[in-house]
Amino acid sequence: MQTDHGLHVVRIALIGAGRIGTMHAGNIARRVPGAELKTVADPRLDAAQQVAEKYYATATANVDDAFKDPDIDAVVVTSIAAAHAELIEKAADAGKAVFCEKPASLTLPEIDRAIEVTRRAGVPFQVGFNRRFAKDFAAARQAVAEGAIGTPQLMRSVTRDPGLPGGMVHARNIKPWTIFRETLIHDFDTLLWLNAGAEPIEVYTRADTLVAPQYKDDGLIDTAVVMIAFDNGAIATAEANFSSLYGYDVRGEVFGSKGMVTAGRHASSPMLHYNEHGIQQQTLRSDEEMFADAYVQEVSDFTEAVRNNGTPPVTGEDARRALRVALAAMKSHEEHRPVAPSEIG
């Protein structure tokens, strides 16, 4: 039995060699104790090889190679979102544990099948909601759970992706509904997680194409605010925008009857530069900067679940709850009315 730091080694295949996949590859190979990056699979063989060569892994253009390999214990899915559900099912059918980047699927029938297949196969299935593993967000959640802020009344979650002064470079390539199912999905999960035990009862959306209005007729939505009413009385807002010129901006807030907790930060360093223009501070520019440790922790927890055949900290059911809110937000935008998640399924 191969061990690392006294841990049984979990041998992992990475499916998808894009930006997030490349980041996960480095973490698996170098920062997650007891994990080995064995294979990198991507239909673009050159991309797979480029990542695999850095970490002495095998590269393949055929993702089925990873599922057929008896030496692979688990797969980490970082492909395009539309392929996630199918890859989860294939991995589970092959007896592999699955970590899948968000969203785990784009529809409720897909996520329901993924949950059922992984349950039937008896393999751990975790979804990559990284904010849960950031120390400030986790501390905020613990404070709320312990009653430190009393009864939650107002909640807020913000995602503003970094932008460029010249505008969005790849706006034409952003698929319709991306802002809800791939961006705000993080915020929906965060709000559900921070307000543990409460259920959303109404969702209302206002959204538009304000950053790149020339692509509105193509279905682009680049700015959105979603209000969520919970059955414990809390009222939450989730907002997103695709062009924050000052950097990557992700924050969470819970205000209650006894106080408030906040999480998230702008600055990449506490250093302040004072000059003739005023006071300046360097800001975070990507999720990889803000959530570097969280990305490591989520995969570390996943590998521990694989070793012990335990329940991962973020499940398929968690992913379903967030997707249900996202689909309600989309329906609200289409029909210009509040939507109850019960209408979605």
The whole-number average pLDDT for the span 52-59 is 98
C-alpha to C-alpha distance for 181 and 104, rounded to whole angstroms: 10
**What are the b/e assignments for 43-71, b being 16+ CB within 10 Å?**
eeeebbbebbeebebbbbeebeebbebee
pTM recorded for the entire structure: 0.96
Q: Hunting for tokens 């009344």 — which residue is that? A: 153
Residue partners of 144: CB distance under 8 A and separation at least 6: 152, 194, 195, 196, 254, 256, 261
What pLDDT score does 48 carry? 98
C-alpha to C-alpha distance for 327 and 340, rounded to whole angstroms: 10
C-alpha to C-alpha distance for 88 and 202, rounded to whole angstroms: 30
Say yes or no to pLDDT of 1 above 70. no
- Report which secondary-structure segment, H or E, holds 313: none
pLDDT tens-digit series, residues 229-277: 999 999 999 999 999 999 999 999 999 999 999 999 889 999 999 999 9
**Which amino acid does the sequence have at 307?**
R
Q: Hunting for tokens 């969203």 — which residue is that? A: 103
What pLDDT score does 37 carry? 98
pLDDT tens-digit series, residues 89-134: 999 999 999 999 999 999 999 999 999 999 999 999 999 999 999 9
C-alpha to C-alpha distance for 77 and 161, rounded to whole angstroms: 22
